[in-house]
Structure 1
Amino acid sequence: MSKETEGQSDVTCESLDQSELVAMIELQLSEMDMLQSMFPDPRELEVDDPSVLCDLRDFAEGRTLLLPPRLDLVINLDGRLSMSVNLPHHYPAVQPSVFVRSQTLNRDAQHRLNQELLGYLKTLQQGDLCVGPAVTWLQEKGETFFDDCPEEVSKSDDNLVEIKDTKFARLWIYSHHIYSKVKRKDILDLSKEFDLTGFCLPGKPGIICVEGLSRNTEDWWHKVRSWNWQKILCKKHEDMEITAEQDLSKLRRFSTFEELGSENNIRVKSSGFHVDMGDVFRYLENHESGYVFKEYFGINGRPT
């Protein structure tokens, strides 16, 4: 995990009573013990950074006053449903960030599943642990979303684009930092789910570009910005009208969505999270987007 907390919420930890914060983290740890007994296979319960659990125990037991990073985890159920969870420090006083995805559900069914799960979580008593109940709900209700689930429109039909959405959009996102492996995986998975192309550059700062149908970019952005971030904003929003005869792929500057690194000829320093900005500028230039470098960093770019 990062050296600093992956995000800040609207309720700051500094505003919380120390004993209350310790009590909340103790509850988180008790729930994690329960989840680990339910899912002993590490492929079923994936903790983004297992050392965070040790840090949380040290904080709860008074061995350190340094507040650890937040806990990110993924719970994989029956090979078909995967639930990503981010626990704020003040959980369970507030709800965690929870999102379920599936490789076999179409987008409408997946959206409906997440909305119904969110509705269920809102029925729970405020202050109660809810990750365990969310798992139980998914185990009981999840299978029903696969019943009579129509297949997605094939990719070959994508250029016929239900031209109900008549706009193509490109979003340029800036984040204070992107370190979390869970967030990075979720960004990649969501981009695939919404048929978006572009890139994610992890590190500090983190930058993301997504492009595709306007409604898809809006849905993607709505989900991503709801996660816990220290700072995240859309630096630039570009859109254009789609005519009935246009090939959607011709509007794209990126052929896929990818995480940038050495495989894209971007030199990464030893820390793994600091890159050569000249290489980033060159990558943008190669995708007709060099102008956005100044939007991100306030200076004109140049290759090194």
Structure 2
Amino acid sequence: MSVWFQSTGRKMNNSSEGQLDKICESLSQAELVAMIELQLSEVDMLQSMFPDPRELVVEDPSVLCDLRDFAEGRTLLLPPHLDLIINLNVGKGRLSMSANLPHHYPAVQPNIFVRSQTLNRDAQHRLNQELLGYLKMLQQGDLCIGPAVTWLQEKGETFFDDHPEEVTKSDANTMETKVIKFARLWIYSHHIYSKVKRKDILDLSREFDLTGFCLPGKPGIICVEGLSRNTEDWWHKVRSWNWQKILCKKLEENELKAEEDISKYRRFSVFEELGSENNIRVKSGGFHVDMGDVFKYLENHESGYVFKEYFGISGRAT
């Protein structure tokens, strides 16, 4: 089903994150209700396809109730957006598809990311890129969570490696022609308060073998470092979440030589959330920290220069 707005005669286009926010703000109440109703109809279809609650997971079930209240006119307050996880068995493998549905979906595409604990990083990256390419081929305004599931059920098995030894040998033969990079991303967020987001940031960073830190509060700061393809996949997932503002302030890259140890480029040994255990004094509410301590932490990790990137002033230890 393609979505046209009869009252304005306009059809939504895919655009940047900032433009999407403006699109959402420009929708009338009736148009938003139409979007939400389509989302709810798709969720109903998915629930009939996946009656097992372990297969279809609504990350916050209360949001589903709030969306129904909004669609049926019991409230004019726009609820949070809907986040879904769909777990699929495809042949010998298992895939987990996360879907973030903006309020204006399906007028614009949702944010979708697929992961698997048994799929190697290259194959996982390729799967996500091919799935994205497939979704872009759908008619604009179509519901696409269902088609994405169908595509994964049909194509997902092909991304799993039935002959790991042969693939490893093939990868070794092409290593010299494949550029492998180390990357470090410095992320700025308007704020990071949510316990759920903070846990997901920790879990996702460890899943992608990334080191660095997360400083919650206002503003929120994140640094992740590791293989470039892993940081790309991590950033693709994290920025798809519902943020007031989030952006990459600085990207640092180094090209790795054949068989070079990635650890020589890392400045952080683990990924952690910063707080009192890192000798950073936390003030009232748990979200206000001593910025002098933050600067000292960055200095101790050869990164004091980014303080000015974030705050526009040179740092000073207290």
TM-score w.r.t. the length of structure 2 is 0.73
Q: Give runs of aligned pairs for residues 101-180 of structure 1, distance below 5 A.
A: 101-148=115-162, 150=164, 165=179, 168-178=182-192
Write the letter of the residue equivalent to 2:302: E
Which of 46, 68, 92 does residue 35 from structure 1 map onto? 46
What is the match of residue 85 of structure 2? 74
Task: Tell me the distance in 2 between the aligned counterparts of 1:258 and 1:218.
Answer: 19
> Using a 3 Å threshold, how does the CA distance of structure 1 residues 203 and 32 change in structure 2: closer, same or farther?
farther
Task: Tell me the distance in 2 between the aligned counterparts of 1:193 and 1:271.
Answer: 30
The range that moved more, 186-195 or 142-151, is 186-195
**Structure 1 residues not aligned, in runs of 5+:** 1-5, 155-160
SS of aligned partner of 2:126 = helix
SS of aligned partner of 2:44 = helix
SS of aligned partner of 1:80 = strand
In 1, are the aligned partners of 2:125 and 2:229 still within 8 Å (CA)? no
1:290 aligns with 2:304: yes
The range that moved more, 217-226 or 172-181, is 217-226
In 1, are the aligned partners of 2:206 and 2:271 still within 8 Å (CA)? yes
TM-score w.r.t. the length of structure 1 is 0.76
Structure with bigger gyration radius:
2
Task: Tell me the distance in 1 between the aligned counterparts of 2:281 and 2:134.
Answer: 46
1:235 aligns with 2:246: no
Task: Tell me the distance in 1 between the aligned counterparts of 2:200 and 2:113.
Answer: 9
> Using a 3 Å threshold, how does the CA distance of structure 1 residues 108 and 63 change in structure 2: closer, same or farther?
same
Task: Report the Cα offset of residue 173 of structure 1.
Answer: 1.4
Task: Report the Cα offset of residue 47 of structure 1.
Answer: 2.9
Task: Tell me the distance in 1 between the aligned counterparts of 2:32 and 2:273.
Answer: 35
Task: Tell me the distance in 2 between the aligned counterparts of 1:38 and 1:261.
Answer: 44
Write the letter of the residue equivalent to 2:96: S
The range that moved more, 144-153 or 62-71, is 144-153
1:92 aligns with 2:106: yes
Task: Tell me the distance in 2 between the aligned counterparts of 1:65 and 1:152.
Answer: 58
Task: Tell me the distance in 1 between the aligned counterparts of 2:282 and 2:150.
Answer: 42
What is the match of residue 158 of structure 1? none
In 2, are the aligned partners of 1:74 and 1:182 still within 8 Å (CA)? no
SS of aligned partner of 1:115 = helix
The range that moved more, 21-30 or 236-245, is 236-245
> Using a 3 Å threshold, how does the CA distance of structure 1 residues 83 and 240 change in structure 2: closer, same or farther?
closer
Which of 46, 67, 70 does residue 56 from structure 1 map onto? 67
Which of 224, 231, 235 does residue 210 from structure 1 map onto? 224
1:25 aligns with 2:36: yes
> Using a 3 Å threshold, how does the CA distance of structure 1 residues 68 and 42 change in structure 2: closer, same or farther?
same
Write out per-residue CA displacement over residues 95-116 of structure 1, whole angstroms, 9 at most, x where no aligned residue: 1111101111112221222233
**Structure 2 residues not aligned, in runs of 5+:** 1-16, 169-174
Task: Report the Cα offset of residue 84 of structure 1.
Answer: 1.0
Q: What's the Cα RMSD here? A: 3.8
What is the match of residue 251 of structure 1? 265
What is the match of residue 4 of structure 2? none
In 2, are the aligned partners of 1:7 and 1:230 still within 8 Å (CA)? no
What is the match of residue 46 of structure 1? 57
Task: Report the Cα offset of residue 301 of structure 1.
Answer: 4.2
Task: Tell me the distance in 1 between the aligned counterparts of 2:166 and 2:280.
Answer: 35
Write the letter of the residue equivalent to 2:26: S
In 1, are the aligned partners of 2:125 and 2:233 still within 8 Å (CA)? no
Name the structure, 1 or 2, with higher relative contact order (CA <8 Å, separation 6+): 1
What is the match of residue 3 of structure 1? none
> Using a 3 Å threshold, how does the CA distance of structure 1 residues 31 and 116 change in structure 2: closer, same or farther?
same
